[in-house]
Amino acid sequence: MGRVRPCPRPAEGLLRRYAEDWTGPGQPYTDCFCLTVDAAVGLDEYVLAFYTTPLFKLERLILAVMVKRPSTDQQARELAAGARHEFAAWTVEARSEHQLLMCDFQRRTRSWFMVVREGEGSMLYFGSAVVPKPDSEGELGRSFTLLLGFHKLYSRLLLGAAGRRLRRGVR
């Protein structure tokens, strides 16, 4: 397994609508991280591994308490399999065979997953988009700016945790 690193977002990525095709006010923030794993991984396996890591389960607990959006591992399995449209604080915005784009309940942030097979391994992509508040004249906001460093670190930790879970065969 490689290391998590920032990388260019693939041109066919569903996150493109926030990076290049945005028509709203201001400019959204987008990022993209990737990780190579030494296994043929499907999108369903990746999404399930991501949402059931101990690190993300902590976030799920916080969401259940703070915004009354509880979630279970079974719901994560259903989302990963394409049988569920909502999970915790997110809904599916777009899905294809190898990608999933989730939108938060406030419609401000997106989480993007993509898997590309590379020989006997796979490249896992994870990215985010944060759009300006509708009434903010295109600004992302002070709290986002203050939390950007944490966001980038947390994204890398989440992707790394999913990769380790997949490496151990927890799918």
Q: Which residue ranges make up each domain of the chain?
A: 5-21+28-166
Segment 109-160, tens digit of pLDDT: 999 999 999 989 999 999 999 988 777 666 777 787 788 889 999 999 999 9
Segment 39-87, tens digit of pLDDT: 999 999 999 999 999 999 999 999 999 999 999 999 999 999 999 999 9
Greater confidence (98 vs 171) lies with 98
Would you state the pLDDT for residue 1? 67
Would you state the pLDDT for residue 26? 79
Provide the CATH number for the domain formed by 5-21+28-166 in this structure.
Answer: 3.30.530
Paired tokens of 22: 């945005």
CA 81, 104, 36, 73: dihedral to nearest 10 degrees? -40
CB contact burial 61-89 (16+ within 10 A = b; e otherwise): eebeeeeebebeeebbbbbbeeebeebbb
